[in-house]
Amino acid sequence: MTWNVTLCYHSNLIHIRPLRFVCIFVCSLLIGFGVLVTPQAQSVTGRFSRALVSVSHGLIQMCGGHATQNGAILRAPGGFAVEMRDGCNAVNVTILLCSAVLAFPATWRMKAAGLLAGIAIIQAVNIFRFVTLFYLGQYSMTWFDFAHAYLWESLIMLDTMVVFWFWVTRVLRAGAAPHAEA
């Protein structure tokens, strides 16, 4: 009977962690998105979007491209213009990543490092996405709609998942893993 008792004990112990992860993840997610739709947060994300457009504009000019910036709008010489609205600034996937990192059992130092690196990677990919959409829109509006609403959104979500996966692997290697805490 000994092995049976051992298995039950082991099983009960490790069942707690997935449940804890899911609870913290869902709560963080709801709080994050709940705050995001308030008018106060909207004005902050509006400023953030304008900053991202400034960086994209700077990159285009640095690479020899031509564009003019007006707030959160980037305009091509041919007349095509693209605006970075709420939902295009990758804040939603950033909230998803933050919730997952906060919910995963690791040291606060590892969590902070994961959040900083993860947000930087996601925003770098998002700026690349914005610049590619700016050029794609000048070529074809049909392709722009497809890439903007579906393809790039899915790719950024996939990137976010892989960033989290890399971070979890690093946490386990560093010994700050859930097994080490048990």
Partner 1 sequence: MPKLKPQSRFLLRGSVLLVCLLSLWWFLLLSPMLSMLKGAAGAFLLIQENPSGDWTLRVPLEKTLPATPEQPVAQQVHSIDFDIPRSDVIAFTFSLPVYWAIILAAPGVRRNLRPLLVGTVVMAAVEVAMLLVFAEISARGTAAQLAGGEDAVGKWARQFGGYLLASVLPYATPFVVALWLHRGLRTEIFPWSSAVEAPASAPPVDRAQGRRSKMRRP
Residues binding partner 1 (CB under 8 A):
2-7, 9-11, 14-15, 17-18, 21, 33-34, 36-38, 87, 92, 96, 145-146, 149-151, 153-155, 157-159, 161-162, 164-166, 168-169, 172, 177-179
Tokens, residue 75:
């305009």
Spatial contact of 164 and 97, defined as CB atoms under 8 Å apart: yes
Q: Which amino acid is at 39?
A: P
Residue 88 C-beta: closest distance to partner 1, Å: 10
> Cα–Cα distance between 2 and 8 in angstroms, integer?
10
From the centroid of its chain, how far is CA 26?
A: 16
Q: Which distant-in-sequence residues (6+ apart) come within 8 Å of 18 by Cβ?
A: none
Spatial contact of 80 and 149, defined as CB atoms under 8 Å apart: no
Residue 101 C-beta: closest distance to partner 1, Å: 13
Cβ proximity to partner 1: between 37 and 63 the closer is 37
> Cα–Cα distance between 182 and 169 in angstroms, integer?
18
Residue 179 C-beta: closest distance to partner 1, Å: 7
Tokens, residue 63:
């690479």
Positive or negative: CA dihedral 147, 153, 154, 155: positive
